[in-house]
Amino acid sequence: MPSIESVLSILGVMVIASPIALLAFLGLCSLSNRPLTEEATVKFISSAVLTGLVASLLILAIMLLWGTHYVAIGLGNWVVIPEEHFHFQIKLVFDRLSVPFVILSFVLCGVIAAFGSVYLHRETGYSRFFLLYTIFLLGMIVTSLAGTIEMLFAGWELVGLSSALLVAFFHERINPVQNGLRVWIVYRAADAAFLIAAVSMHHLTGEGDFSGLIGTGAWPEGTATLSSHQALFVGSLLLIAAAGKSALIPFSGWLPRAMEGPTPSSAVFYGSLSVHLGAFLLLRVSPILERSDILEWTIVLVGGLTAIYATLCSRVQSDIKSALAFASLTQVGIIVAEIGLGWRYLPLAHIIGHACLRTLQLLRAPSLLRDYNAMENALGVRPVLRERPMHEKPAVLTDWLYRLSWNRGYLDAFLDDYIARPFVRLFQWFDRLERAWTSFLLSDKKPLPGDPPHLPAGPDIGKTSETGNVLKENR
């Protein structure tokens, strides 16, 4: 009779193998220019999601019955550099944080797939949507079960890539493409901070395994081995990564832009799962956060300011998806503040409840206006909103808050003027230097750094005919 450890290992492999097999199959069908029919696509996706969900539920049942709080499944080292003492281990961890998040991911992704199969019926990008959706599902599962910082970063990247591509899903229009690019740029900045934090943690502890980074105890009972100054440095970088992924201040400007994607992707990304991924990261590394009081209060400040900002912005939005996006961000800010205050199980329960509620609201959004018009026709009157009399002057503070909220806190302008534009000017200066050096190598005359590149005059350049037209080369 197989032991409990072997049964858990088999079930754990099934959890991670189901989205991998689904992605490989859909990818091969797309590359071979033989996309599946809509019915076949839904059947394969439903089978993979159901397999992973059943396996994760069985793991939860076994852990509850046997009183196990931590199960680690090692799948070997994929990269080993003995001279540098570096190894990239594939390790799955099932504990009180990863198991609820995996079950939540499978449940909500299954619901979104069932909704999207009807919502995107006869859409030209039907197969492309579900291919990117499968990449997102795999990224969520890998991130949730990651036992090493490198594996978590790999899943983190899969989620970011699929999110940005689905924001730009309607690529025949310019606005989705531009907004998808902006989301991708913010993700790049956050991922750079994450990568620096991962390298720093690997350098400080000698390994990327979470058991060595945050202690061997089951979450959240581990104790980090870092000093307070090291925890402040690494934790600050991880906070920047979480802020970029969860649209916390000052990266909140991209969240309403992400609503350009289809409603199913908006629901699964920025209403339920992806927007909570930053909070999940902070929960995973919570023993590191506890080593620095300054870091914890910084997290509380960022979460509180984000909640206040999102509350103000949600009250002035004119479309339902943007209003729900900012309402979701309000709850995410509160969750992050709860993590900074040292709570662990409360923010986890808050994430699960909020993700389910916001998914329902975003999936309900497309039919809201139709039902609202039906209600007006049934009543025979249109509800009258309270309007301010013309002679009543607005309060100065109220008017200022309204303009601030309407412009979404000027966060986009802040990032463009004080972060993006200096980098653009720096790269333009490098471009001028490169052009000047290239011109110097290709000509006898040494140009100044600000001069345009020197172009050698050909036989027909600069010569004009009697009518003043430039002579064209005879071909």
Q: So what's the pLDDT on residue 213?
A: 73
The predicted-structure confidence for 226-251, as pLDDT tens digits, reads as follows 888 888 999 999 999 999 999 898 88
What pLDDT was estimated at residue 451?
A: 55
So what's the pLDDT on residue 475?
40
Write down the pLDDT at residue 339.
94
pLDDT at position 391 is: 57
Q: What per-residue confidence (pLDDT) applies to 147?
A: 86
The segments of the chain whose pLDDT lies below 70 read 1-2, 81-87, 215-217, 383-395, 444-475
SS3 string of the chain?
Answer: CCCHHHHHHHHHHHHHHHHHHHHHHHHHHHHCCCCCCHHHHHHHHHHHHHHHHHHHHHHHHHHHHHCCCEEEEEEEEEEEECCCCEEEEEEEEEECCHHHHHHHHHHHHHHHHHHHHHHCCCCCCHHHHHHHHHHHHHHHHHHHHECEHHHHHHHHHHHHHHHHHHHCCCCCCHHHHHHHHHHHHHHHHHHHHHHHHHHHHHHHHCCCEHHHHCCCCCCCCCCCCCCHHHHHHHHHHHHHHHHHHHCCCCCCCHHHHHHHCCHHHHHHHHHHCHHHHHHHHHHHCHHHHCCCHHHHHHHHHHHHHHHHHHHHHHCCCCCHHHHHHHHHHHHHHHHHHHHHCCCCHHHHHHHHHHHHHHHHHHHHHHHHHHHHHHHHHHHCCCCCCCCCCCCCCCCHHHHHHHHHHHCHHHHHHHHHHHHHHHHHHHHHHHHHHHHHHHHHHHCCCCCCCCCCCCCCCCCCCCCECCCCCECCCCC
pTM for the model stands at: 0.83
Query: What pLDDT score does 388 carry?
Result: 57
Domain boundaries, the chain: 4-366, 409-453
pLDDT at 86: 66
